[in-house]
Copies of this chain bind each other. A is one copy, B any other.
């Protein structure tokens, strides 16, 4: 029998940048864990709740793998809360463009909504960020859906890829937002997949815009186009 090295973590063993990336994040669930952590630090139980279908041991195993890969750090919260949270490292946050590209490509599939599908509000932050960034106006938007709320930060960079000032988070905005949006998950999905533009949504009232910041003015201006 040949001395095969333990395939504990299976590698493609290819001197190729994409294959190397898939060695690190190609396992089932890994990129979805990144998606969850992109909204901010989360506890194990919260991760498990927002990743319906993942089994407890696989989630624990992935988190350990990601820690070894340097994508995630585990931090113990101050005494009052006897819990620990998982948090993306800088290297982990650099996966945002990967999830952006995947989300852009997969958005058309949102046309079909199965009744077995789970939904979380912050899953729309990724595609919505892309469309808001397309306006070319930096700022913070707070988005309210029936399923929950989240906020997105549009940075100064044109396409808003991996810049530190571009991203999103769960819940209300930590600082006063430049604009508040209220819309349904359906509308959110239609905007995400490009079936409805932001301008159309604002114009026909499916997207409710409040606020006085630059972003609010830019969105209100879409009503006139």
Contact = CB atoms under 8 A, between A and B. Distances in A.
A72 interface: no
Nearest to A123: B16
A14 interface: yes
Interface of A is mostly: helix
Contacts of A14: 32, 52-53, 117-119, 123
Interface string A9-37: 00011111111111110101001100100
A153 interface: no
Given A94-B105, A105-B94, A117 B15 contact: yes
A189 interface: yes
- Stoichiometry (number of copies): 2
A124 to B, nearest CB: 8
Contacts of A193: 17
Contact of A104 (B13, B17, B113): B17
Contacts of A105: 21, 94-95, 97-98
Most chain B beta-carbon contacts within 10 A, residue among A99, A124, A185: A99
A45 B15 CA distance: 21
Contact of A192 (B17, B104, B127): B17
Interface residues of A, number: 52
Interface string A104-123: 11110110011011111001
A103 B119 CA distance: 30
A3 to B, nearest CB: 12
Contacts of A98: 98, 101-102, 105
A97 B104 contact: yes
Contact of A189 (B15, B101, B119, B159): B15
A137 to B, nearest CB: 20
